[in-house]
Amino acid sequence: MTLAAASVLAGRLGLSAIPVFIVAGIILGPSPGFPEIVEPSEGTELLARLGIVLLLFFLGLEFSLGRLTAARRMVIVGGLVDLVINGGLGIIVGVALLGPGPEAILLAGLIYISSSGIVTRALFDLRRLADDETDLVLGILVFEDLAVALFLGVAAALATGESVGGLEVAATAGLALGFVVAFLLVGRWAHHLFDRIGPRLDREQLLLGALAIAIGGGALGEAAGLSEAVGALLAGILLSGSEVRDQIEQNLLGLRDFAAAIFFFAFGLEVDLSQAGDAAPWLLLAVPVAVVGKLVAGYVAGRATGFTKRQSVNVGSAIVARGEFTIILANLAAAGVALDATFREQVSPFAGLFVLVTAVVGVVFMRESRRIGRLVFPTRAARRESRR
């Protein structure tokens, strides 16, 4: 009932439902100052994880193997531009707040990575999937997920004070890339198999089969050292070229929206506003840098891959929001026995508020990006008109 009311409110306000779901979670959750009506549980966590898996699975359904292969240059160029700019800015912010050390590197990781879940849901809500520049957004997200798979291993070692070996990092990178390549190779013939089996299944069997593939892909991605989000995305791409794709989308659409709403609501349950005062100095520096860094990185990546100035503004606006990986890294850092005690106490509340602010700002930027593009880069006719 709460989520339905939040969705109606978002519609009346002309907003995406994402920030409204998050705020509803904060108000109804255990954060001090509000009545604790809903407590985080294993059930909400399970549904939240299902929401991420289904969001990325649906995104994969929209991107055929041919479309993703054609976008490989965008994955590499866009991902590297994003890594250099936002990873570099993250290091600068980390050193400025904490001084040189493992804490600064971990904070850089928190600041660098965008949210696949929030960006994907916003792409659906704002009907941006058919835009040409969305391929570049997807490429950056895929690159970030591969990068964070490597970073998680490094972060775990830094948090426990263990040395980080180059061979271990290289092995993790090889496994991650091998997993992606193997999935894409299987995808070249898998749709033929689905085309033969799919039409013989009734509605229930097709729904359960698609769920099994989505969740199984997520589990395989996690087992390979990647995120379950990447695994689910690749599972969706496997089915994107099949004749039953439209049926799968129709059957799973309601479940996807429900589970995704739970994901954002459950995230709000984890945000502790009582720590806002302690996290304020970090937020005042990190938020502006993080927002501007993504806008610049998206614009530079867009121009470098041949998009117009306005399309490049859309790319930068789409990758502002941070989310689930920032929370995962913060929890890892908070448990790090080798890290500074003050850093361990503040990193989780900082991450929760950082994600909340960037999620809201990111969704607003994304919704208004076309208007911003027209204002910043007006047409010649508009410039002539303004001079009169």
pLDDT at 171: 73
Q: How many CB atoms lie within 10 A of CB 352?
A: 25
* Nearest-angstrom CA–CA distance, 187 and 189: 5
Residue 337: is it exposed, middle or buried by C-beta count within 10 angstroms (0-12/13-18/19+)?
exposed
**Residue 246 backbone phi and psi in degrees, to 5:** -60, -40
Predicted confidence at residue 299, as pLDDT, reads: 96
Q: What pLDDT was estimated at residue 388?
A: 63
Q: What are phi and psi of 133, to 5 degrees?
A: -75, -10
Closest CA to 88 of 296, 265, 260, 376: 296
322 secondary structure, DSSP code:
-
- Which residue stretches of 200-275 are H helix? 203-223, 228-240, 245-269
Tokens read off for 85: 């700019």
Q: Are 102 and 159 in contact (CB under 8 A)?
A: yes
Q: Splitting the chain (388 residues) into consecutive groups of 10 residues, what average pLDDT does each group show?
A: 72 69 82 76 83 83 75 88 95 93 90 86 84 90 80 73 67 74 76 78 85 89 75 84 83 83 80 75 94 96 94 94 81 80 85 87 90 85 64
Q: Are 110 and 330 in contact (CB under 8 A)?
A: yes
Q: Which residue has the tokens 């980390």?
A: 94
